Amino acid sequence: MNLLARYAESIFWMARYMERAENLARILDVHESFSRDTRGATNWFSIVQLNADEKDFFSRHDRPTAEAVIHYYMFDAQNSNSLLSMLRIARENARALRPWISTEMWTQINVFHNKLLEMSVKDVATQNLSKVCTWIKEECQTHTGITEGTFYRDQGWYFYQMGKYIERADQTTRLLDIKYHTLLPSPADVGSTLDASQWTTVLRSTAGYHAFRRVYPRGMSPTTVAGFMLYNEGFPRSVVMCVRQIDGVLTRMRSRYEMRGGSNAMERVDELLAALLSRPIEAVLRDGLHQYLDWVQLQLSGITTEIAQAFFGVDAPLAVQSQSQ
């Protein structure tokens, strides 16, 4: 039982770190575009703020320049939120899972990690950052495709899916938070060409622009974009879609394997889904999107705690601390 629990935890966190790496690449790519406006320095610092890394960042850097922030989130091995650290942890989990995952999954993660190790600061200079971020996103998507096509459908598959969708929901809220909380502090910019361009970039950062245009062929507003990213049930990265997937995975896993654990996690998922579906986007924007996104992130963290306590065979606080945001 303890061995199975350890494998379950490694599968869950391998999925989360691969999803997290893709989303960090998206966030860096978004900021590479946004930093071309007159608030470039502030925009780069917002990544540090978004991850609550101010204290750690300033212990090693004087100012949040583009070069300092890019290095901190690309190559800083002491930063647990850097891409290098994420890939290292994902690879360590994959290595522990060699008896459970396919050879193709292990090979792709291992090669991906080693190629990132070979990169230098020059390779990710500002003018090259978008190209590197595109490569990282494509490698993460390759991992997703290989996993879909080769990972055996047993209990491990369900834990992989839970980890992926919890992380994806969390990261969608963070991308939205960039726009609302940090990137557009001036009311004078609302509705401007700059405003529309930034909303377009936020949608593209989640690969959601074309899907959004299928729903809204003309026009774009904060209400429609935020509502789409939070609530649209046809968009793979919307928060509601991800929470529904978590709910379905937990239900099927407990039913198929007659598991007694997980009831508290299911209750929290049901509560979060009900709260999401009962709140129109207009009310969320009126009352404060940043506060709402913070609340959603806390609920997702609580679900992770309940899953750890039910399935990973260790105390929940230790499970969440060992591998977490």
Does the structure show a pLDDT above 60 at 57?
A: yes
Closest CA to 173 of 227, 239, 228, 235: 239
> In one letter, which amino acid is 74?
M
pLDDT at position 314 is 60
Q: At what angle do helices 239-256 and 222-231 cross, to 10 degrees?
A: 10
CB 226 within 8 A of CB 156: no
Over residues 301-309, mean pLDDT: 95
pLDDT at position 194 is 54
Does the structure show a pLDDT above 80 at 65?
A: yes
Both tokens of 303, joined, read 């679900």
pLDDT at position 37 is 54
pLDDT at position 125 is 86
pLDDT at position 316 is 46
CB 296 within 8 A of CB 239: yes
Over residues 118-133, mean pLDDT: 90
Over residues 99-112, mean pLDDT: 97
| Confidence grade of residue 2 (pLDDT, cut at 50, 70, 90) | very low
| Greatest CA separation for the chain | 59
Can you tell me the distance from the alpha carbon of 225 to that of 143, in angstroms, rounded to the nearest whole number? 28
Residue 318 CB contacts under 8 Å (≥ 6 apart), including other chains? none
Does the structure show a pLDDT above 90 at 297?
A: yes
pLDDT at position 321 is 42
Over residues 34-58, mean pLDDT: 75
Angle ∠(232,238,239) on CA atoms, nearest 5: 110
Closest CA to 77 of 52, 95, 106, 56: 56
**Buried b vs exposed e over 88-110: b needs ≥16 C-beta within 10 Å?**
bbbbbbbebbeebbeeebbebbe
- Lowest average pLDDT, out of 87-96, 180-189, 195-204, 275-284, goes to 180-189
- What are the pLDDT digits (tens) for 140-195? 999 999 999 999 999 999 999 999 999 999 999 988 887 765 555 455 555 455 56
pLDDT at position 247 is 97
pLDDT at position 323 is 52
| Confidence grade of residue 34 (pLDDT, cut at 50, 70, 90) | low
**What is the DSSP code string of 37-85?**
STTHHHHHHHHHHHTT-HHHHHTT-SS--HHHHHHHHHT-TT-TTSHHH
Can you tell me the distance from the alpha carbon of 35 to that of 233, in angstroms, rounded to the nearest whole number? 32
What percentage of the chain exceeds 90 in pLDDT? 66
177 Rama sector, left if φ>0, alpha if ψ -120 to 50, beta otherwise: alpha
| Confidence grade of residue 31 (pLDDT, cut at 50, 70, 90) | confident
> In one letter, which amino acid is 237?
R
Does the structure show a pLDDT above 60 at 322?
A: no
Helices within 151-238 (DSSP H only): 155-177, 193-205, 209-215, 222-231
Can you tell me the distance from the alpha carbon of 52 to that of 150, in angstroms, rounded to the nearest whole number? 36
pLDDT at position 317 is 45
- What are the pLDDT digits (tens) for 223-280? 999 999 999 999 999 999 999 999 999 999 989 988 878 899 999 999 999 999 999 9
pLDDT at position 187 is 53
| Confidence grade of residue 1 (pLDDT, cut at 50, 70, 90) | very low
A 10 A CB-CB count for 69 gives: 24
Name residue, tokens 């099927």. 252
* Average pLDDT for the chain: 88
Q: Is 19 exposed, middle or buried (0-12, 13-18, 19+ CB in 10 A)?
A: buried
Closest CA to 133 of 26, 44, 19, 50: 26
173: enclosing H helix or E strand: helix 155-177
Can you tell me the distance from the alpha carbon of 10 to that of 7, in angstroms, rounded to the nearest whole number? 5
Closest CA to 245 of 150, 316, 167: 167
What percentage of the chain exceeds 70 in pLDDT? 86
Does the structure show a pLDDT above 70 at 87?
A: yes
pLDDT at position 318 is 43
